Structure 1
Amino acid sequence: MSDLLQTVSGPLPAAAVRGPVLAHEHLALDLTRADSAAALTPGHRAAITEELASLRTEFGLGLLVELTCRGMGRDVTSMARIAADSGVAVIAATGWYYEPFHPGELSRTSAERLAGTLIGEIERGCGGSGIRPGVIGEVGSHGDAPSEPEARTLTAAALAAAATGLSVATHARFGRGGLAQLELLTAAGLPPHRVSIGHQDLLDEPAVHRELAAAGAYLAFDTVGKESYRSDGVRLRLLLALLESGYADRALLSCDVSRHGYLLSEGGTGYGHLFRSFLPRLRAAGVDEELVDRLTRRNPLRFLTGQDGADEGPADGGGPVRGR
């Protein structure tokens, strides 16, 4: 465990992050093999920088966790430029996405060798950039259980995380398979509080959310604003159910901007939808500022640094949301 965050600009004390954190975003991305619009290129860099700078000024945005990993069009040099020009700290990632985006050589490589590749990036930097990842993610699977290649890349992520002290953020497609992901990651030696299960706001199963939280994992409600997948009204209901169950310490929030059409400059909801739309609705539902700060700053910092262990159960035994 360390209170230092590894950002694209170098180490940063977690205590220096005084404003909210976007726990799952993308600044440079290329998933055009599946969707021609799923790209954030150098041509979008100025618009992205302007958005982040505005969020820093208006809402105090302190940190963005960029979960573009190997095979997703990761560009850490572009991330570093955006961080420098916007004044928002950025954490880069390493790992492998879900199977349709795996490079061919993964079919011949053991989990241990894959972990060695990740450890090399974490210790020496990505490519020749010298820019080191500060999180492993978004390592993925699709369906209710990982495929064999996905099981190997998830195991590799866990082994690398255990060796380097980083945390792991997953991609659970449409929110499915989180319990299987957590079982696999913890079986490889990773404590559950070093795991964030992705896209849980796309899974309308509060009992699964409670089971993941009770085990000590974080749940990422990280597609806020993506109404074509799930309405924010449903997201709000699911998050409030988790909070009412006493698991306010286990939730992370973000928007997962993953194609250029989501940018404000192209008429999308942008990186700031969480602050401008969703959090006001959360406050109107009775959530106070202490809890907003917990959800948007303290939880992601604890996830990234591993400074606290898994909770043993509901933090206060359940009850009203306000003040939790």
Structure 2
Amino acid sequence: MHALRTVAGPLSPARIRGPVLAHEHLALDLGRAGDPEARLDPARHAEPVTAELAALREQYGLALVVELTCRGMGRDAGALRRIAEASGVAVVAATGWYYAAFHPPEVTGAGPGGGTRAEDLTELLVREITGGLDGTGVRPGVLGEIGSHGELPSPAEHRVFAASSAAALATGLPVSTHAQLGRGGLAQLKLLTDGGLPAHRVCIGHQDLLDDPGTHRELAAAGAYVAFDTIGKESYQSDATRLRLLLALVEAGHGDRALLSCDISRHSYLRGEGGQGYGHLFRSFLPRLRAAGADDDLIDLLTRRNPLRFLTGSTAEVN
């Protein structure tokens, strides 16, 4: 199994013995969309973020966070490296582009030298993957969260998906997506796999916001990972519905395709500000899953072995 690419360098998957949060944000700025609260400012929030992660490592054994803040989302690779070091929790950083509302000029072609061809975008991604992020030397370990908004990607989003597929093929990285409110996941998977990327190297995001077990089964049967990654965001979907959808996928024989996380994407979600925090999965959702009949092996599959297989591109069982 290939090494994980963390912000501190390569890490053997064998060293990850505790759970993984498969879709989170530790430093983020989505305020340009008119939502000034959609921020995790390293200058203000790195300390409480670090404290939360360290507490979860101590209490639940949290071992790894997949941090999916990419280009145009306020990414701060240096902050991620400092948070990982201070918390003792490994962090995987990302590259790519979110959905169209957050595309920078390099995607839209609005700025000097901005390229709009998928080939130009692929070259940019490969440079970051091989050379590091934003002058820090931190190399990303995942392409994500590659976004679309609606049932079908816009032309610009289509180019981003094509570029992400090509960059993943060139570098061996997996692709994690943002499907707005869970919609459009099948179209995302088709775009990525049409480029030659195997489905097992793709995770379709926010499927816990889509109350459609048939779509979840179709994605999983194709070989893709199905992300239940907004756990605790009750204003979008109840955790009771999320639990029902996850159990349906497991009962259909696809427990090995599900990934779990909380997608903390604004500072008011932090525990110190009264929010559910990164630990909601462990404190609330997993106990409910256990009460519904999940055993230790299933919990380990969902929270550790599945994300490790996804991140490394492995099709073999993880011990």
Give the TM-score normalised by structure 1: 0.94
CA contact (8 A) 1:52 1:88 kept: yes
CA contact (8 A) 1:193 1:309 kept: no
Show CA shifts across 1:246-303 (max 9, x none).
Answer: 0000000000000000000000000000000000000000000000000000000000
Alignment of 1:164-243 (within 5 A): 164-243=171-250
Question: 1-side partners of 2:316 and 2:31: how far apart?
Answer: 39
- The ranges of structure 1 where at least 4 consecutive aligned residues each deviate by more than 3 angstroms after the TM superposition are none
Show CA shifts across 1:183-223 (max 9, x none).
Answer: 00000111000000000000000000000000000000000
> Aligned-pair distance for 1:96?
0.3
Q: What SS does structure 2 have at the residue aligned with 1:105?
A: helix
Question: 1-side partners of 2:106 and 2:213: how far apart?
Answer: 38
CA contact (8 A) 1:144 1:177 kept: yes
- Aligned equivalent of 2:306, options 299, 302, 323: 299
**Aligned residue in 1 for 2:77:** 76
Question: 2-side partners of 1:126 and 1:50: how far apart?
Answer: 25
- Aligned equivalent of 1:127, options 134, 152, 158: 134
Show CA shifts across 1:105-145 (max 9, x none).
Answer: 31342111101100100001012110000000000001001
- Unaligned 5+ runs, structure 1: 311-324
**Aligned residue in 2 for 1:37:** 37
Amino acid at match of 1:175: G
**Residues 172 and 309 of structure 1: CA distance in aligned 2, closer, same or farther (over 3 Å):** farther
Question: 2-side partners of 1:268 and 1:5: how far apart?
Answer: 30
- Aligned equivalent of 1:161, options 160, 165, 168: 168
Which range moved further: 99-108 or 138-147?
A: 99-108
**Aligned residue in 2 for 1:317:** none
- The sequence identity of aligned pairs, in percent, is 67
Question: 2-side partners of 1:212 and 1:127: how far apart?
Answer: 34
> Aligned-pair distance for 1:309?
7.1
Query: How many residues were matched structurally?
Result: 309
**Aligned residue in 2 for 1:92:** 93
> Aligned-pair distance for 1:3?
2.1
Amino acid at match of 1:125: G
Q: What SS does structure 2 have at the residue aligned with 1:90?
A: strand
Alignment of 1:54-69 (within 5 A): 54-69=55-70
Q: What SS does structure 2 have at the residue aligned with 1:270?
A: coil
CA-based RMSD: 1.0
> Aligned-pair distance for 1:245?
0.3
Amino acid at match of 1:201: D
CA contact (8 A) 2:77 2:134 kept: no
**Aligned residue in 2 for 1:107:** 108
Question: 2-side partners of 1:229 and 1:270: how far apart?
Answer: 16
> Aligned-pair distance for 1:33?
1.3
Amino acid at match of 2:102: F
CA contact (8 A) 1:302 1:308 kept: yes
1:6 aligns with 2:5: yes
CA contact (8 A) 1:196 1:220 kept: yes
Amino acid at match of 1:275: F
